[in-house]
Structure 1
Amino acid sequence: MRVFTVAGVVAVVLAFSSVGAEPPKPPVPQKEHEWLKQLEGQWEVESEGVTEPGKPPVKCRGTDAARSLGGLWLVSEMKATVADVPVTGVMTLGYDAQKKKVVGTWVCSMCDVLYKYEGALEGQTLTLETEGPNPSTGKLVKMRDVIELKDKDTKVLTSSMLGEDGKWVPFMTMTGKRKK
């Protein structure tokens, strides 16, 4: 795969060189990209989620390894074990200067849905919205992930879905502590 990527970059450079044009300049990281840099690193995470109303929450522990991709994207790989089942999830986050929104994706080994995020940053809180199936009914609902930086070594992600009454219902909270 790396060979194809390098070959693609070389082909673009050669194409611009042969016509005398300058290759396009890469995007310049914005303040939103700088905020995302705070999420980089190795984290220990604990989460608690509600699977069904009235049942005890499911708890798990795991890791989150987050790295920058060219200063424009954050790629975060989370690993945990939920009810004796290993789970891996990958989140991508970046800032789309044309849309003026934080954008990203979420995929995990427990579902076949690609969640596409759009959101905004306010202070130390990033609010991301998407759509996905309600785990209980399968019906498509609006969902929200809120990532809050409590300090440089603590982050909290809260996942909610929009209820039929128009109120956001939290169903999962994950707390991350930076590994020292």
Structure 2
Amino acid sequence: MRQSCWLVALAVILSSSGTAWSQDKSEAAEGFDPAEMEKLFEEYATPGTEHKQFRRMVGDWKTKTTSYYPNPEKPTVTEGSAKFRMILGGRFLQQRFQGEYEGKPYTGIGISGYDKATKKYVGSWMDTMGTGIMSTTGKYNEETHQMVESGTSHSPLGQIEFRMVTDYQSDDAFTFTMFMTVPGMPEMKSMEIAYTRQAGDASKAKKPAKQRRNKKKATDATE
């Protein structure tokens, strides 16, 4: 079904007019191989190695949020929780965050993924503090175990630019730091969230049984 939708969309593009390359649509159509195109989009839709790092975040987490905005001299500290799970066949990671802000309940939902077409990590965030959705793009550094993302949001103050840095200390702890730039002001650190995996979390990713058996066989063979 998914491949059929892509093929239909591509056929419409090839037959449409008004695009820069539609003048050569007859030539493009002649070289159009439905089987090869289906294979191409199948690969695009298959989660890659970049998606595997999301699996370590699956589970239940405790959070400790330090908010520096609006008064960085007197930050506030609150506790909350977050639940991560993989969705849509392991293609995306969903976060459901529960906490509080300025004494009021706060709920947020985030979706993270890796776009194999743009070769960038992508995400979206929505919460109870607004009616908009923030979209983000980022890159992950495997050597430093750090994700750096950027995003833009619209608010009554105008357009706000965000820079988010996530440092992964281990499979059981990571820190999310957000910086923001409000119109007419320099970039400021707005918040920091320390995530700690809840004790006894049964959702913590484990190696598949097949891998464990193969590892055991390899060990037995060397003994």
TM-score for the superposition, normalised by structure 2: 0.64
Q: 2:152–2:162: 8 Å Cα contact kept in structure 1?
A: yes
1:152 maps to which residue? Answer: 171
Deviation, 1:86, is 1.1
Q: Over residues 62-102 of structure 1, what are the superposed CA-to-partner deviations in whole Å (9 max), with x where a residue is unaligned?
A: 11000001111000000012233111100100000001100
Larger radius of gyration: 2
2:153 maps to which residue? Answer: 132
Where 2:62 maps in the other structure, the secondary structure is strand
Q: Over residues 100-152 of structure 1, what are the superposed CA-to-partner deviations in whole Å (9 max), with x where a residue is unaligned?
A: 10011010011222100111111211111101247xx8131321111111111
Where 2:42 maps in the other structure, the secondary structure is coil
Residues 1:141 and 2:143 aligned together = no
Matches within 5 A, 1:9-20: none
User: Higher strand share goes to which structure?
Assistant: 1
Deviation, 1:36, is 1.5
- 1:139 and 1:66, CA in 2 relative to 1: closer, same or farther beyond 3 A? same
TM-score for the superposition, normalised by structure 1: 0.79
Residues 1:102 and 2:121 aligned together = yes
Q: What are the ranges of 5 or more consecutive residues in structure 1 without an aligned counterpart?
A: 1-7, 13-20
Q: 1:89–1:107: 8 Å Cα contact kept in structure 2?
A: yes
* Overall identity of the aligned pairs, in %: 20
- 1:118 and 1:54, CA in 2 relative to 1: closer, same or farther beyond 3 A? closer
- 1:73 and 1:45, CA in 2 relative to 1: closer, same or farther beyond 3 A? same
Matching residue's letter, 2:127: C
Matching residue's letter, 2:140: L
Superposition CA RMSD, Å:
2.7
Structure 2: distance between partners of 1:110 and 1:163? 16
Q: What are the ranges of 5 or more consecutive residues in structure 2 without an aligned counterpart?
A: 6-34, 200-223
User: Higher helix share goes to which structure?
Assistant: 2
Q: Over residues 40-77 of structure 1, what are the superposed CA-to-partner deviations in whole Å (9 max), with x where a residue is unaligned?
A: 11100000112224551122111100000111100000
Aligned length: 163
1:172 maps to which residue? Answer: 191
Where 1:25 maps in the other structure, the secondary structure is helix
